[in-house]
Amino acid sequence: MPDRFQTDVLDKSHEKPVLVDFWAPWCGPCRVLGPTIERLARESAGRWRLVKINTDKHPELSQRFGIRGIPAVKMFSGGAVVAEFTGALPEPALRQWLSEHLPAPA
C-alpha cells in the first residue's frame, strides 16, 4: 500500500478529493463509521474517492500522517491534507463535514 498511496491518494487527489479512512478491524468506532462513510462515497456519484487504510497492516502510513487515534479521516486535495477529523462522527455530522470541505459541484 505505501507504494500505491502515491498513486491512489496523492496523485488522484489532483483530479478529485480523496478521503482516507485510517481504521483497524478491532476498533469499535471504526466499525460504526466505516459503513456510513462507504455508503456516502457510493452516494457521492464520484465527486470524491474513498481509500481505506488498515493501520495494523500499514503502520508506516499511520506514522507518516501522525495518526494517534482511529478512526481518523483525512481529506486530500491537490496532493495535500486539506481537512481531517478523528473519531466516529454520526452521519449528520459527517454529511456536514463533507459539505464544508468538499469543493462545490461544477
Is 27 known to be catalytic? yes
Is 10 known to be catalytic? no
Please provide the DSSP assignment of 50-98 as one string: EEEEETTT-HHHHHHTT--SSSEEEEEETTEEEEEEES---HHHHHHHH
Determine which one of 9, 18, 19, 27 is catalytic. Answer: 27
H or E segment to which residue 101 belongs: helix 91-101
Determine which one of 30, 73, 89, 102 is catalytic. Answer: 30
Helix, strand or coil, per DSSP, at residue 25: coil
Active-site residue list? 27, 30
